[in-house]
Amino acid sequence: MTLDQSPGPHRSFLFVLGSSRADGNSEILAREAAAHLPADVPRRWVDLNRLALPDFQDGRHEDAGRQADEVEELLRRATVEATDIVIVSPLYWYSLSAQTKRYLDYWSGWLNVPGSDFKKRMAGGTLWGVTAMADDDHVVADGLVTGLSHSAAYLKMRFGGVLTGTASRPGRVRADEGAMARARTFFQSDAPLARFPYEEAGAVA
């Protein structure tokens, strides 16, 4: 796995690219946002299409001795070492891409490795999302947003929200001036602790 990284203290960003298209619109939007991070903040980019990562096999009850291969272990380490994880996925059928969902499925496996501290290490970090879609009404991405928010809530992470843009043909997101403007300040947004709806209802009550 190749990881691009720049030096810096305190926070570190992992950008997980989940498009089936190289240099897709979601990636363009994410790179615009990343360009406006402080220069001393480290950032890593992982393209899931370039990883020999097989489909996740749930072996919690059958294969307690399963050993992760080198690619999976590098991906796990990149995940837990980042303070901020940015899921970069186009909106496919109103949800995450298959590549991205497979990556998140591996989180389930990492949670259940004997002696794993995955949940503890993820707690307190921040999950972000970036997605491009063909529809002008970004409410159609609510399913994707909810999935990421609930994933963050389960792991006691903060959730910075999802940066959305409109584009279908390659490179067209650059014409979405509103999305490009939002990208420049996206990582300055407030990222509150993620909560499930029932937790928010209980807090209000």
The predicted pLDDT at position 171 comes to: 94
What is the tens place of the pLDDT at every residue in 50-81?
Answer: 888 877 776 665 655 566 788 888 999 999 99
The predicted pLDDT at position 20 comes to: 85
- Give the tokens for residue 203: 């807090």
The residue-averaged pLDDT of 176-203 equals: 91
Specify whether the CB–CB gap between 155 and 126 falls below 8 A: no
Q: How confident is the model at residue 204 (pLDDT cuts 50, 70, 90)?
A: low
- C-alpha dihedral sign at 116, 160, 93, 168: negative
The residue-averaged pLDDT of 28-55 equals: 92
Domain boundaries, the chain: 13-56+65-204
CA distance linking residue 194 with residue 143, whole number of Å: 16
Specify whether the CB–CB gap between 27 and 89 falls below 8 A: no
CA distance linking residue 122 with residue 108, whole number of Å: 13
- Is the pLDDT at 115 greater than 90? The verdict is no
pTM over 0.85: yes
- Is the pLDDT at 24 greater than 90? The verdict is yes
Bridge partners of 172?
none
CA distance linking residue 123 with residue 158, whole number of Å: 8
When the candidates are 3.40.50.360, 3.40.50.300, 3.40.50.170, 3.40.640.10, the CATH number that belongs to 13-56+65-204 is 3.40.50.360
The predicted pLDDT at position 205 comes to: 53
